[in-house]
Amino acid sequence: MGPLGRLANCLVLTEYMRRFLRQRILAIQSVAESGGESLAG
Protein backbone atom coordinates (compact mmCIF):
# COMPACT_ATOMS: atom_id res chain seq x y z
CA MET A 1 0.00 0.00 0.00
CA GLY A 2 1.40 3.35 -0.96
CA PRO A 3 1.59 6.46 1.21
CA LEU A 4 -1.74 7.80 -0.06
CA GLY A 5 -3.41 4.47 0.61
CA ARG A 6 -2.07 4.41 4.16
CA LEU A 7 -3.24 7.97 4.74
CA ALA A 8 -6.74 7.23 3.39
CA ASN A 9 -6.92 4.04 5.46
CA CYS A 10 -5.90 5.91 8.61
CA LEU A 11 -8.46 8.66 8.05
CA VAL A 12 -11.30 6.23 7.34
CA LEU A 13 -10.47 3.99 10.31
CA THR A 14 -10.08 6.98 12.63
CA GLU A 15 -13.53 8.31 11.71
CA TYR A 16 -15.04 4.81 11.94
CA MET A 17 -13.59 4.25 15.41
CA ARG A 18 -14.78 7.66 16.63
CA ARG A 19 -18.30 6.87 15.46
CA PHE A 20 -18.17 3.35 16.88
CA LEU A 21 -16.90 4.47 20.29
CA ARG A 22 -19.43 7.30 20.46
CA GLN A 23 -22.26 4.81 19.88
CA ARG A 24 -20.87 2.40 22.49
CA ILE A 25 -20.50 5.19 25.06
CA LEU A 26 -24.10 6.28 24.52
CA ALA A 27 -25.33 2.70 24.85
CA ILE A 28 -23.34 2.08 28.04
CA GLN A 29 -24.45 5.43 29.46
CA SER A 30 -28.08 4.60 28.71
CA VAL A 31 -27.83 1.24 30.51
CA ALA A 32 -26.02 2.83 33.46
CA GLU A 33 -28.61 5.57 33.84
CA SER A 34 -31.49 3.09 33.65
CA GLY A 35 -30.01 1.16 36.54
CA GLY A 36 -29.03 -1.80 34.36
CA GLU A 37 -32.65 -2.87 33.91
CA SER A 38 -32.17 -3.61 30.21
CA LEU A 39 -29.46 -6.14 31.11
CA ALA A 40 -31.87 -8.13 33.30
CA GLY A 41 -33.62 -9.39 30.25
Half-sphere exposure of 23 (CA within 13 A, CB side): 6
What is the pLDDT at residue 4? 92
C-alpha dihedral sign at 19, 20, 24, 25: negative
Tell me if 7 is assigned to some domain: yes
Beta-carbon contacts of 31 under 8 Å, excluding residues fewer than 6 positions away, are 38, 39
In whole angstroms, what is the distance from residue 37 CA to residue 41 CA? Answer: 8
pLDDT in tens, the chain (41 residues): 799 999 989 999 999 999 999 999 999 999 999 986 666 55
Give the pLDDT of residue 38.
61
Per-residue pLDDT at 1: 76
Would residue 12 count as lying in a domain?
Answer: yes
- Look up the domain containing 23 and give its range: 3-30
Asked if residue 40 belongs to a domain, the reply is no
Contact of 31 with 38, CB cutoff 8 Å:
yes
Residue 24 lies in a domain: yes
How far, rounded to the nearest angstrom, does the alpha carbon of residue 36 sit from its chain's CA centroid? 20
If one counts the domains in the chain, the total is 1
pLDDT score, position 41: 52
